[in-house]
Amino acid sequence: MTNFPNIFIFDHPLIKHKVSILRDKNTGMKEFRELIEEITTIMTYESMRDVELEPVEVETPLEKTVQYRVPEESVAIVPILRAGLGMVNGVHRVFPTARVGHIGMYRNEKTLQPCEYYCKLPEGIEDKTVFVVDPMLATGGSAADAITAIKKRGVKKIKMMSIIAAPEGIAKLAKEHPDVPVYVSTLDRELNANGYILPGLGDAGDRLFGTK
C-alpha cells in the first residue's frame, strides 16, 4: 500500500472495525482506552512474524521434545508520552515481562516541532527488540526524534507501532529511519493546518486521559 519497503499498513478487518469506533467523537474515555489496547495487541502479533526463537527442551507427559520460544527478556516497550502510554498494556498482553522505557515529547503547537522533555530507558535495552509506540504519527517529528534517541543508546532492533498515520509522517520515517520497520493500522488522508490527522480521531492524549 505504500512505496516504502519499511512501512507496513495493516488491512485487517478487525482492526478496521475497532478503528471506526475509535474515531467516533461519541466514544468515551473508557472504551477509547480499551480499543487502543486491543488494537495494539493485534498489531503486536502481526509485527512479530520475524521474531527469532530459541530452541528449548520440553518434557510432555509422553516424551521429551525440542520446541521453540521467544527468549526471556528479549523485548522492551518505549511509549512516547503521553499518548503512547495507552499502548503499553496492549504489548504487555503478548510480552508480559517486557521492560518499559519512557520518552517524553511534546509538539510545539505553532511550529509543530517536537521537544524532548524526558527520557528514561531500561538497562540492557541495547540487546532487546524495542517497540516504540505512539498511536498518532502526524508529521512524524516526535517518532523520528524518539527513534534517534533510542538508537543513540545502542539499540539495533527497533519496531515503530502507530495506530493512525498521515502520509507526511510515513514519508519522514521512511527517509530518516529506513532501517526501522513501521507498523501502522490505518493510513489517513492528510494533515490539517494545525498538524492534526484527517479524518483522524482528534487528540489521542486528551481522549485517553480525559484532559479535555
Binding site for ligand PRP (CB under 6 A): 80-83, 105-107, 112, 114, 134, 136-143, 169, 195, 204-205
Catalytic residue (one of 69, 148, 206, 211): 206
The rounded distance, in Å, linking the Cα atoms of 51 and 39 is 20
In the chain, which ranges are E strands? 7-9, 54-59, 64-69, 75-81, 99-100, 102-107, 114-120, 129-133, 136-137, 157-165, 182-187, 190-191, 197-198
Q: Smallest distance from the beta carbon of 191 to ligand URA, in angstroms?
A: 8
When the beta carbons of 20 and 108 are compared against ligand PRP, the nearer one is 108
203 part of the active site: yes
Interhelix angle 29-47/13-23, rounded to 10 degrees, is 150
What residues numbered 105-144 form the site for ligand URA, per CB under 6 A? 136, 138
- Backbone φ and ψ of 149, nearest 5°: -65, -40
196 binds, among ligand URA, ligand PRP, none (CB under 5 to 8 A by kind): ligand URA
When the beta carbons of 71 and 210 are compared against ligand PRP, the nearer one is 210
For the chain, how far is it from start to end, CA to CA, in angstroms? 35
Q: Smallest distance from the beta carbon of 176 to ligand PRP, in angstroms?
A: 12
188 part of the active site: no
The rounded distance, in Å, linking the Cα atoms of 47 and 26 is 30
Asked if 200 is part of the footprint of ligand URA (rule: CB under 6 A), the reply reads yes
The rounded distance, in Å, linking the Cα atoms of 10 and 52 is 22
Query: Mind telling me the catalytic residues?
Result: 107, 111, 203, 206
Q: Which residues bind to ligand URA, rule: CB under 6 A?
A: 83, 136, 138, 195-197, 200, 203-205
